[in-house]
Each structure stands twice: as structure tokens, then as C-alpha cells.
Structure 1
Amino acid sequence: MASTTEFAAHRPTVLARISAFGHSLVSRAQNYRMYRRTLTELSALSARELDDLGLNRSMVQSIAFEATYGRH
């Protein structure tokens, strides 16, 4: 005996889509602020402090990006 299953496509409402978009914007803004704060703090370190951490100035942007977004 064969049976069929119906799948109803669930489409989010306009309000749900607007809400998700708003949450996405807030999340992106928070991530960007974290990136800028991390970049500012690392940039404020002296060459000696960076060397103590095993870093050099050319690595600061990529480290701040990776720390915030978790990818390179």
C-alpha cells in the first residue's frame, strides 16, 4: 500500500520577515562595534606589547576580524 504525505510550505508573514531583518541589522551593528573596539584596543598597543603577544602591527586587522566574526 502506498501512502502520500502532504507538505505545506510555511511562508513567514511579512511581520516575521521585517522582525528578522531588524534582528539581523542589530546583530550586524553589534558585531561591527565589537570589531571596531577590538581593532582600536589592539592598535593602541605599543610594538613591544604586540611583540610580547607574538603579534606584529600588520596582523591587527585580521586578528580583530577573526576575533569578531570567527573566520578569516
Structure 2
Amino acid sequence: MRRHRLPEQRSQHTMSAARSVLSRVRAYLRYRDTITQLSRLSDRDLADLGINRSEIRGIARV
């Protein structure tokens, strides 16, 4: 049986869901920005950082 939420509970649930979506969007944007910034570096600069070009996506996920 499904429980009906009170209006303030629905509002809190909606706000929580919106914050969750916003948090995921921000995380994705940081991920894409990290990939962009690291991809712009030369192979020599990446080597100085101890990063291989093939590792960029994996590093961006962290």
C-alpha cells in the first residue's frame, strides 16, 4: 500500500531530488573540465605530472 505524503514532505522530497540532480550535474561538469584542462597539456607536461595521456579520463573520475 502506498503512503501519501503530506505537502511539506513532498516539497522536502522534491528539493532533495533537485539537489541530487544538481550535484550530479556539477560533478559531471567538473569531470569534463578536468578532461579538457589535462588534454590541453603537452605530453611532456603530463609526463612531469606522472600522467600518461591514456589515463586522463580515469584521473578525471576521481
Structure 1: tracts of 5 or more residues without a match: 1-10, 67-72
> Going by fraction, where is helix more abundant, 1 or 2?
2
Structure 2: tracts of 5 or more residues without a match: none
Q: What count of residue pairs does the alignment treat as equivalent?
A: 56
Alignment map for 1:8-19 (pairs within 5 Å): 13-19=9-15
CA RMSD in angstroms, aligned pairs only? 1.5
Q: Residue 13 of structure 2: SS of its match in structure 1?
A: helix
Q: Residue 43 of structure 1: SS of its match in structure 2?
A: helix
1:13, distance to aligned residue in structure 2 (A): 1.0
For residues 51 and 15 of structure 2, the distance between their equivalents in structure 1, rounded to whole angstroms, comes to 41
When normalised by structure 1's length, the TM-score is 0.72
Instruction: Look up the equivalent residue of 1:31 and give its one-letter code.
Output: A
Structure of greater Rg: 1
For residues 45 and 65 of structure 1, the distance between their equivalents in structure 2, rounded to whole angstroms, comes to 18
1:49, distance to aligned residue in structure 2 (A): 0.5
